[in-house]
Chains A and B, each alone.
Chain A
Amino acid sequence: MSATAEAMTKASLSKQRHIEERPEVVVRFAGDSGDGMQLAGTQFSNASAVFGNDISTLPDFPAEIRAPAGSLAGVSGYQIHFSSYDIYTPGDRVNALVAMNPAALKTNIKDLEEGGILIVNSDAFTTSDLQKAGYKTNPLEDGSLKKYRLVAVPITKLNREALSDLKLSPREVDRCRNFFVLGLVYWLYERPLEPTLRWIKEKFARNPAVMEANIRALKAGYSYGETLEELPVQYRVPKAKIAPGRYRKITGNEATALGLVTAGQLAGKTLVYCSYPITPASDILHTLAEMRRYGVVTIQAEDEIAAIGAAIGASFGGALGVTGTSGPGVCLKSEAINLAVMAELPVVIIDVQRAGPSTGMPTKTEQADLLQALFGRNGESPVVVLAPASPAECFTLIIEAIRLAVSYMTPVFFMSDGYLANSAEPWPIPKVEELPKIEIKHPTEPNEDGQFMPYKRDHRLVRPWALPGTPGLEHRIGGLEKEDVTGNVSYDPLNHEHMVRTRAQKVANIADEIPPLSVLGPETGDLLVISWGSTYGAIVAAVERAQRKGLSVACAQLRYLNPMPKNTGEVLRRYKRVLVPELNLGHLRLLLQGRYLVECVGLNKVQGRPFLVSEIEEKIHQLLQV
């Protein structure tokens, strides 16, 4: 801790402030898009992670890049859940809300718990901003906020005072308000200032005046906490019980990008990532575009189709071809995915799902592309479908996606979503030497009587990945039906049926090597909650609570949606009832009921937001009639 921060902490103790210990806290920063709330939130979560809490975060930004200042559409938020024990979600109810303007208050207040701390920038509650937010009277004065512990701070004014002697424009000064309020919240929760100070120093190394301003704003906010009469209390959230090791904070999109680079190195192959910009997948492209020295090649294609075309072309040449997109992009890629199914070439399709149909709500999360991934193409089109359960898990599962694609010569879908993409959690940094290599063999010799048969399969029904440039293995592939073994074009009816079944069986064979479905909780019982993708966190949290209440409930997470683990049906039948919560109208439920003839109850939400733990818990209680 720096000398200043230490002095501040001492000061607070000397004043004998009341310090309360809390196992977990949820804070949300909300303000106008231009208020720097994403930055404040990121800094707060870094500081909490470095301090030793478990964290889970959820940014919530507007779809418009520059919505009018002060408008409801322009509100940007960032929620952080930090705790002294394992947490799985960004939290249901907000304990402390920062609202930088009336619009932020209006759109966020409903999530603040009763009695929660509400810090507002009172300077922003001007008549015009109140009007823009649709307030007829000033909520700070009309008593409508009396359910909360209102802390109205003239942040604009205090921040200007703190920076008054710096040679900066008024605009530049006001842009530091986010650090002022961040300092105040740091004080409230005893967060260390170091990580943020370090960040400011690095970020503004070339602009000493701005650096000084941000440092001063942060410290001024922190000191201001001392003087606050409305808040005679600070909160302490002890360190979490976390497995020993080295950690960093990671979002799903970052973990996906890092996993891709890692897979490239584990396979000893060039990663060729081809993508057309689309929310919420673009960050993967951005991250990978900076990775040239890791041997990563990125192509920003002219459209979604070109992106997957280039990825498949790269795979044909022996590289790792990957494309990333969201639902609307998957629609456009369908035909090319089918070509890879037919030609039996590896390609990974990352679908960072968002609320649809059509353009839908680009910045909001949803899980309604599952059936599209499985079935949204013409003909019998078997593909592998995987879904990560948490931001950090994107790392391991995207490596698995690459491994299956190259090892089975098949397209693999990786079903992330807007929530996983942008929310963050601690990531135990893996030991490189412990990561398993991805073994790939390319034939160099003919495989039948001095001839090369491109569709002669191994015992798993996988065809060889022969690369152009290999003498003697010249062959042609394409989208027309092939004769098995030779790969020649064939319209023979029985051959077609044989090939359709063979391609399906090849993908089904993957079930032989994937881990069985495991449950968290009793092996048999009253209720199984089964899920896929990003809903995992809320479901585990809810099921653990229910278990502590003595309910006979377990949960299971499907990471492999196609093929599913072999024991899936058997696991489902061990429980009296099965609940399938999903952020769609019942995709997995349809699959499970259809495949295993087990009746499932759905819990379905399509609001562009993740499940709250309480929503799952309520449903469990309802089903078990408690």
Chain B
Amino acid sequence: MPAATLPTLTPKDFASDQDVRWCPGCGDYSILAQMKKVCASLGIPREKFVFISGIGCSSRFPYYMNTYGFHTIHGRAPTFATGLKVARPDLLVWVITGDGDGLSIGGNHLLHALRRNVDIKIVLFNNEIYGLTKGQYSPTSRLGTRTKSSPLGSIENPIRPITIALAAEATFVARTIDVDVNHLTETLRRAAFHKGSAFVEVYQNCKVFNDGVFEYTTDKEVKSENVLYLEQGKPLIFGKNRDKGIRLNGLEPEVVELGKGVSVDDLIIHDEKAAEPTLAFVLSRMYHPQFPEPVGVFRAIERPTFEDLLNRQVEDAIKAKGRGKLEELFQSEDIWVVEEAEANGPAALD
């Protein structure tokens, strides 16, 4: 993907002239800043980037990027991205969405974009709340969450974005955290270079309506106990002193302390390239406070992309039978010719 002779781009080149309008302290600022950094580092010309979004706080994102951008309608961004990528495989297409946009109103499209493996990068800002509509519970809000529309506590079981992405046969599935700057940058970069649909869940703090919901993953005091960094080929170890790990007990994961008869060899070795997403699925079901929550790449496998397969059908058909000409198109089984002399029927009758 990187081309050789490119002007060096800086994050500033990716900043549009529009004032950023998120609330002060919103996690979106960090994601925007890291995204500009990543874009500048990819070696891809700026005009090749397209950011497509739906509706919500996160979906204002394209306005702040000095690239091509399309702020579409609620939940449907993956559909526009699919059409664009099919028409223009040369573009690097990002979809910016949120938990309401991507998993509630747009759940259907998310599933199908991932299933088809369209080469688009979907970044889902998960703040477990509806921000733009001023604080109602979202499909990722935890049970009991009290909001304006759930004053007695939410009674709906939350949906797990990573679990959904895996179930939809996504070829790249990752999670990261808004303020974990290096990890966020690295995760976005890996998504950018993945060939196929990439799904990245970002834990994003909504300062106004759901402040601190991910604090256990960001607070310096406790985060190392609560976050499990996934690394390819490495055992699942976490904890301030890196003395805890995750072991499989039958089909269930369990937290174990290293030493005391448990060695590193007993732990799950992370394999993002596993043919089956079984272990990734197990990891996606690990939630605070019972477990540390895994961040990093859950799954990264190769599969032909939708637009490649589609455009290959066009090429193959042309190769097999030649490029279709209109003259041929108009033929059918039965063509008849009316000669000048034949045009001799009677006039119309009643």
A residues neighboring B (CB under 8 Å):
23-24, 46, 49-50, 52, 84-86, 195, 198-199, 202, 238-250, 258, 261-262, 265, 270, 272, 274, 291-297, 299, 301-303, 305-319, 321, 335-336, 339, 343, 429-430, 432, 435, 467-480, 488-489, 544-545, 548
Contacts and interface: CB of A to CB of B under 8 A. Distances in A.
A470 B344 contact: no
Contacts of B108: 302-303, 306
B317 A292 contact: yes
A93 to B, nearest CB: 13
In the A-B complex, the 4 residue pairs with the smallest Cβ-Cβ separation, listed nearest first, are: A309-B79, A478-B71, A313-B83, A310-B83
Given A272-B86, A317-B83, A297 B311 contact: yes
A310 B82 contact: yes
B72 A476 contact: no
A316 B350 CA distance: 53
Contacts of A23: 346, 349
Residue among A24, A243, A246 with the highest chain B CB neighbour number at 10 A: A246
B114 to A, nearest CB: 11
A476 B85 CA distance: 17
Given A261-B329, A309-B79, A317-B87, A245 B338 contact: yes
A307 B79 CA distance: 7
Contact of A262 (B47, B320, B329): B329
Interface string B67-88: 1111111101011111111111
24 contacts: A50-B336, A241-B347, A244-B343, A245-B337, A250-B332, A262-B329, A292-B316, A293-B318, A293-B320, A302-B111, A309-B80, A310-B86, A313-B87, A321-B83, A432-B330, A469-B48, A476-B62, A477-B70, A478-B62, A478-B69, A478-B71, A479-B73, A480-B71, A545-B350
Interface residues of B, number: 74
Interface string B20-51: 00000000000000000000000001111010
B343 A242 contact: yes
B47 A292 contact: no
Contacts of B286: none
Given A307-B79, A311-B83, A478-B71, 15 more contacts: A240-B345, A243-B343, A248-B331, A249-B332, A249-B334, A272-B86, A272-B87, A305-B109, A309-B80, A309-B83, A317-B91, A432-B330, A474-B47, A477-B69, A477-B70
Contacts of A261: 324, 326, 329
Contacts of B333: 46, 195, 198-199, 202
B47 A470 contact: yes
B147 interface: no
Interface string B315-327: 0111011111111
B335 A429 contact: yes
A545 B349 CA distance: 9
A136 to B, nearest CB: 39
A251 to B, nearest CB: 11
A271 B53 CA distance: 24
Contacts of B150: none
B49 to A, nearest CB: 8
Contacts of A291: 324, 329
Interface residues of B, dominant DSSP: mixed
A469 B91 contact: yes
A293 B348 contact: no
A293 B314 contact: yes
B66 interface: yes
A49 B334 contact: yes
A315 B108 CA distance: 22
Residue among A23, A49, A86, A469 with the highest chain B CB neighbour number at 10 A: A469
Contacts of B348: 85-86, 544
A592 to B, nearest CB: 29
A476 B68 contact: yes
Contact of A477 (B71, B78, B332): B71
Given A246-B336, A294-B324, A468-B88, A479 B66 contact: no
Nearest to B17: A488
B112 interface: yes
Contacts of B335: 246-248, 429
Given A239-B344, A244-B340, A302-B109, A468 B334 contact: no
Contact of A293 (B46, B50, B324, B345): B324
B310 interface: yes
Interface residues of A, dominant DSSP: mixed
Interface string B300-319: 00000000001101101110
B67 A474 contact: yes
B70 A265 contact: no
B63 interface: yes
B342 interface: yes
A306 B112 contact: yes
B339 interface: yes
A123 B349 CA distance: 39
B84 A314 contact: yes
Given A240-B345, A249-B332, A258-B330, A295 B87 contact: no
B78 to A, nearest CB: 8
Nearest to B51: A476
B18 interface: yes
Given A469-B47, A469-B48, A429 B330 contact: yes
Nearest to B67: A474
A295 B85 CA distance: 16
A469 to B, nearest CB: 6
Contact of B68 (A52, A245, A468): A468
Nearest to B45: A471
A301 B324 contact: no
B134 to A, nearest CB: 17
B221 interface: no
Contacts of A474: 46-47, 66-68
B338 A242 contact: yes
Given A46-B334, A545-B350, A476 B63 contact: yes
A489 B63 contact: yes
B168 to A, nearest CB: 11
B327 A432 contact: yes
A166 B239 CA distance: 81
B326 A262 contact: yes
Contacts of B52: 313
Contacts of B340: 244
Nearest to A310: B83
B276 to A, nearest CB: 25
Contacts of B343: 241-244
B91 A468 contact: yes
B45 A309 contact: no
Contacts of A299: 82-83, 86, 310
Nearest to B50: A468
B265 interface: no
A293 B321 contact: yes
Contacts of B321: 293
Residue among A243, A249, A272, A306 with the highest chain B CB neighbour number at 10 A: A306
Interface string B103-137: 00000110110000000000000000000000000
